[in-house]
Structure 1
Amino acid sequence: MNAMHQYLFDAYRATQHRDALPPVPGRHDVAALRSARDARRFARVVAGRPARGRLRAFLRRRRPC
């Protein structure tokens, strides 16, 4: 059973009990990834390390000029 099947079962059950429908699968994925990124950046700042720029600096060093 995948997430969509489970959502359909939960939606059916919610309508039978006249409850609110559950959120659609994948609806909050971007917000969850963004909050994880922000938490990681915050932890780096608190530890005294630069919060960003590692990937860009790496790509800049690897780019053939």
Structure 2
Amino acid sequence: MSVTQQYLLDSYRAAQLGERTPPAPGVYDWQVVREVRDYGRFNAVVHERPAHGRFRGALGRLLRGLRGGGARTPRPLP
């Protein structure tokens, strides 16, 4: 049974019983994404890690490693 079919069935049952209809599928998706993001930031602060820029920093480290621009060797003295 698809999500839409389940929603229609639940809406029909709610109408028959005089109850509130359930929210349509996808209505609260962005709210869930924001809550997961906020939980990750909160968890980072609790564990004393930076709360912002972790993804971009990890991506930058990965890309520098792929390009070979990691640790630089010092220039020899003249």
TM-score (norm 2): 0.70
Q: Distance in 2 between matches of 1:59 and 1:18?
A: 52
* Amino acid aligned to 1:24: A
Corresponding pairs, count: 64
Q: Hey, what does 1:48 align to over in structure 2?
A: 48
Q: Distance in 2 between matches of 1:25 and 1:11?
A: 12
**C-alpha separation in 2, matches of 1:36 and 1:7:** 24
Larger Rg computed on CA atoms? 2
Identity %: 48
Long gaps (5+) in structure 2: 65-78
Moved over 2 A (4+): 54-63
Gaps of 5+ in 1: none
Does residue 16 of structure 1 match 2:5?
no
Larger RCO (CA within 8 A; separation ≥ 6): 1
- Report deviation, 1:24: 0.5
Alpha-carbon shift at residue 7 of structure 1 (Å):
0.3
Partner of 2:5: 5
Q: TM-score, normalised by structure 1?
A: 0.82
